[in-house]
Every structure is written in structure tokens, then in C-alpha cells.
Structure 1
Amino acid sequence: MSYLDLMYFHLITVVPCFVIGTVLLLIKKGTDTHRNMGRVYMFFMMVTALITLFMPAQVGTRIFNHFGWIHSLSFLTLYTVPTAYFAIKKGNVKSHKRKMILLYFGAILIAGVFTFTPGRYLHELFF
């Protein structure tokens, strides 16, 4: 699979994460809708994080000639999603909430801002 294929697949999975994550932050918590949308959100976040691990860094310093600093957000996601899931299963709402907010702002918003920096595809597309 080429870098462009991975990038498009990543965009296909991360855009719904942005939309669903935003809705989840705004709707009432603990409802069936919240739980069902949350499962979809967590699934897509895991898939999108896994996809990015196969995408070599295109900008900046590379670690092992592959990973860039933005990959740290992928690893954050791979850690945060399961721990947030298990936190809510154990009834630890405070931990779940903290992790999910961190995930949304770190892996969606901050990573999203990085995608618009010079040298990246979305920067070239929009600017």
C-alpha cells in the first residue's frame, strides 16, 4: 500500500472521529446514544492510529528513519482508548472523561493543526 493510499485511508477514518468526537463532547453523557457513538469513535480512533504507524514521517526529524514527533500522538491514542474504555467499564467516570478529552484535543485537534504545517499534504491542498 502506498503512502497516498494510507493517507487517504487515514483521512477517511479521522474525519468521522472529528465529527463524532465533537458530538460526543456536546451531548448528554451516559445515554445509549453516547455509548453507541463512543464505541464507533473508539474503533475509528484505534484504526486511524494504527494506519498512521505505517506512514513514514514526511516532515522533520525521523526516529528509526520512520517515526516523527506526530507519531507520539498515535501512541497516545493506542494507550488512551483502551484505558478510557476500561475506566468506564469499572465505573471510573472521572478517569474516562479526562482520557477522552485528552484524546480529542491531543489526537484530533493538535494533530489536525500539525497536518496544516508547510510540507504536509493538507497544507499544499488548502494553501
Structure 2
Amino acid sequence: MTIHSTLLGAAALVLALGTSSINAQTESRDQVKSETKAANAAGAIPRGESTNQQPKLDSVKTRADRKAETAAAQQRGDIARGGEAHPVDGKVKPTNDGRNRADVKAETKTAVKAGQITSGEKN
């Protein structure tokens, strides 16, 4: 029984020493926190769920410069207006036939009465 108890004691000692070396830390908590803070500030730790982290781009223009450029482009007509009623290039083509809205509406009304314009699913 003494051999058995000796082996059991030796196994307990090896187990106790083994677990203490596994849990031993080489760095203190403050060191780990400071390293993590430095890595986070340097951008080495990715944020969010994306693994594709893009570098930050530094702009050479101020916000006022960008706003002035946009206003100038709008005045020149370079920026397309939104919506389906406007053409792709953003420039509304004026009609030069001299008709106004009332004339076009009257024309459309007579075309509908004459059966030239179908409505619904009569095509």
C-alpha cells in the first residue's frame, strides 16, 4: 500500500506543478493592457466583422473647398438631377417648337378622342 500511496502522491505533485506552470503568466495584466491599447491606437487590431480593413485616406481638401466645387458644378449643370423624369446626362433639353403646356394638353386630348392614344391594356 505504501508504493500505491507513494505513486498517488507523486502523481498529485506532478499534476499540481503542471497546472501551475500552465497558468503562469509571463506578463502582468497592466503590460497586456498597455500593449493592447498601443496596438489598437496603431490600427493593428481590426474592428467589426470585416477582415478587409482599408487604410484611412487623408484628404487634401477642406470641407469648404469640396462644397465650393459642388456648387460650381451644379451651376455649370455637370451634376445630374435625380428622378425618372430627367435624362441620363442631367440636362433638360428645351423644346423649340413654341408650344406651351396648354397646347400640348389640348393636342393630347384630341389624340385620345381620335383613338390615336390607347390607355390601359387595349394595345
TM over 0.5: no
Larger Rg: 2
Quick one: higher RCO (CA 8 Å, sep 6+), 1 or 2?
1
Structure in which a larger fraction of residues adopt helix: 1
- Scaled by the length of structure 1, the TM-score of the pair is 0.18
TM-score (norm. length: structure 2):
0.18
